[in-house]
Structure 1
């Protein structure tokens, strides 16, 4: 086991009050490469609140990205670059367009944002993003924001993978180094997870999550990850989050453990729920 990953999507209070589901979706997957390394994929989509079927669009986008990545891995060795990002995003765009045609609707009815990270030891790291939300990485220089969240032409607007010019608004950033810490999240967490004045991560928000994932544990790995995932869900539905946002929120957290001795967190309380 070289990657340890947890992710949760939780409905915002505005959706809960109206008995609506969460419109976010998320992919976390690990793939064994021919060289023996493990490739981690973390991809997050957020259905637009202005789109009647935004949540379905997010689900279609995530499924399309997963299928396209699996297909690409089956063809040959891959390179984590802009061309691969465009293949994945185009798959999401085309998948939603096909779904819209089948339902006699327009792609904008399924509008969603899309962002993700791919990382492997010998390949480095690639982050891609259309829309708001955020990707925070540590590639050896401490936590940094991979891509500045995108704003649209007007206030409270952003870009979506359903746009005809999705290739033009796609942002891609590559790193030669492996990201040993990764967080990806939808815009419901932006004001909590980022310092928007400086476009930098709010490190206290992420520190405990990374520490808990890095801890040595005598528990079965599956049991441990289940417990951490449930704790993450409670945190996302807790007052420290819901008092600051009523939006849906997704948070995926990953740490690289391969070849690195796990560290024990300095906080021994074990309380993931207690901090924002």
Structure 2
């Protein structure tokens, strides 16, 4: 089994109208070590009220990706990764964000960001999340969420890696087998592709995208990425959500 994937972020109209950079970030990769195949997907969303949330998101994602990749290279099996291991990865990523803020004479909350991640191998998969956004996985029975987006007391409130009580909001799940398909996305997409009234997934959005990803020749997926970016930047989409939108898609491909 190997993994084909794509990842992209588009800047929301709320930022582009003010000539501001987007505050989402993502990192994804398919890795083969000896005869073992892995997929890592990480995304984060900088808090809209911050000055440097996008930088915090980038630091958190790159730190998580690097730590997970190091564990894989050291030969650690995904099935042996514990909740304490994942919490330690997140703590380390947070400490790097904190150090960056202090080095620049700024407040830690100026770098506030959510964090979502998946790690998949042939015999196991793990998922973790702080804050809103979502992970959707698909198999022969349909599509489901791993965790529902966690929002606070008010509609636009959520939780961040940089919060003092971040450990209380870490959600972790393990599955003995990897899903056939997985998507990670930030909160700019969640109201478009999830039904909050029934807590279900809009399969009509994901099913054709995963099918297109499977059929895309090679591993670059440039045509599909361009098509998807154009879709997420359409006026009718921005009218429903003017926030940044980040999406990672991955499908497992059987190998002979």
TM-score bucket of the superposed structures, by smaller chain: over 0.9
Residue of structure 2 equivalent to 1:255: 251
CA contact (8 A) 1:140 1:177 kept: no
Residue of structure 2 equivalent to 1:273: none
How far apart, in 1, do the equivalents of 2:85 and 2:37 lie? 17
How far apart, in 2, do the equivalents of 1:138 and 1:64 lie? 27
How far apart, in 2, do the equivalents of 1:155 and 1:195 lie? 15
Residue 214 of structure 1 deviates from its aligned partner by 1.6
How far apart, in 1, do the equivalents of 2:162 and 2:139 lie? 31
Unaligned runs of 5+ in 2: none
Q: Which runs of 4+ in 1 moved over 6 A?
A: none
Give TM-score scaled by structure 1 length.
Answer: 0.87
Residue of structure 2 equivalent to 1:176: 176
Unaligned runs of 5+ in 1: 261-276
Picking from 219, 222, 226, the partner of 1:226 is: 222
How far apart, in 1, do the equivalents of 2:198 and 2:104 lie? 42
Taking the TM superposition and a 5 Å limit, the aligned residue runs for 1:131-170 are: 131-139=131-139, 141-170=141-170
How far apart, in 1, do the equivalents of 2:182 and 2:173 lie? 14
Residue 80 of structure 1 deviates from its aligned partner by 4.3
How far apart, in 2, do the equivalents of 1:156 and 1:107 lie? 20
For residues 5-49 of structure 1, give each alpha carbon's deviation from its aligned partner in whole angstroms, at most 9, with x where no partner exists.
111100011111000111100010122245x22110111100000
240 and 205 in structure 1: CA distance in 2 versus 1, 3 angstrom threshold: farther
Residue 178 of structure 1 deviates from its aligned partner by 1.1
Which deviates more from structure 2 when the two are superposed, residues 234-243 or residues 247-256?
234-243
* Secondary structure in structure 1 of the residue aligned to 2:87: helix
* Count of residue pairs brought into register by the alignment: 254
Residue 75 of structure 1 deviates from its aligned partner by 2.8
Residue of structure 1 equivalent to 2:114: 113
